[in-house]
Structure 1
Amino acid sequence: ANALAQAKSADAFQKVISDHPSTPAAASARLLLAAEQRKGNKFAEANATLQKFLDTNPKHELVTTAKMAIAANLESLGNTDEALDTYRRLAADYPKDFNAPLAMLAQVPILKRSGNTDDARKVCEAILTQYRESYASAEASQQLRQMKLAEAPPTDSAVNALPAAAGADSDSAPAQDGEGSSIPLVEISPAASAAPTP
């Protein structure tokens, strides 16, 4: 434990693992080593370290945390299908663990990026149903709102909200339609068109 407290680098963590194998200090050193490797963008090495942690400490209280880190590393490596599968297995295998709703939540951006918004919505709804007391439920609710806004058709509310004098402004040049009537040019900002309607 003393050696672990003094360890501050990847080499020092590796020394703790070598000098004190099969100890709680070695288990902690593996997790810290994997974190250092991830910081250095050595995602494959970090996953090898985490897998060794899982192999030697299958009952450790941080098993799900290690699996979350493996999935995040897979995502960083561009292996999104494998990352998604890892998150799904974690949530299914450890439904009562504190990481289960986080594993479900981590699936949402992957699903959205791949165009599977229906699946992303279902995951968010499952979080709200199964884990309504967790932090993840607030984030799932936010994700659902964002998906709903993204799918909503544009409304005329932004145009109707403009002051009546906008068309009479001397800086705005009216466009003419085929019948000769004036149609004021109105530019709607993306922020205005994405505003939620009550």
Structure 2
Amino acid sequence: MGHVTRKERYDVCVCVCVCVNPSLFLLCILLLVKNGFVSLLSERMRQLQELRKQLLKEICASNKEAFSGGKHSLEDISAKNLKNLIVDDTHGIIYCYIPKVACTNWKRVMFVLNQNEPYHDPMSISADMVHSANKLTLLNSFPRTEMKARLRHYTKFLFVRDPFVRLISAYRDKFQRYNKYFYVKFARDILRLFRRMLNSCWRS
């Protein structure tokens, strides 16, 4: 694609502004396609993704022991450490969920995909239900040979989030908004620890 003109940038700005009206969403998409911004954005995202993948490979290869904990193959990894991998055999995908990285909504999606069509709205599924045991198929529920086959042939994906934003999100969701389970299991011990540290600082 050639040089992007000021007029084209203006068109996109206008387009973004009017998109607050859902009825104009299609017009926005058509305008973006016409000016080549969709293909340009797609190419930039692809390049950025390749750079990230290359950086990840280089960092992991630089010190395999530190990053793998000495675990170099599937046989070295316990079933417990594979509990975050959700399998969808129908669509051939494996989702690795990370808490506080939209995992509740993605669990909803994975649950809905395993139901019969027409699919339900994922947001109609309760959070408690998708976090319950045995509601989703986990990779560690299969024999090792079947795990290997799925890891080799299925599309695997995960999402990451800025660690500080993730920490703030966890605090607001689990501690600031009272949750008895998390208070009893985590918050109480954290408060005790930091109260002791604070008292120690005051005494010194």
- TM-score bracket, shorter-length normalisation: under 0.3
Q: Which TM-score applies when normalising by structure 1? A: 0.27
- Larger CA Rg, structure 1 vs 2: 1
* TM-score normalised by the chain length of structure 2: 0.26
Structure with greater contact order relative to length (CA < 8 Å, sep ≥ 6): 2
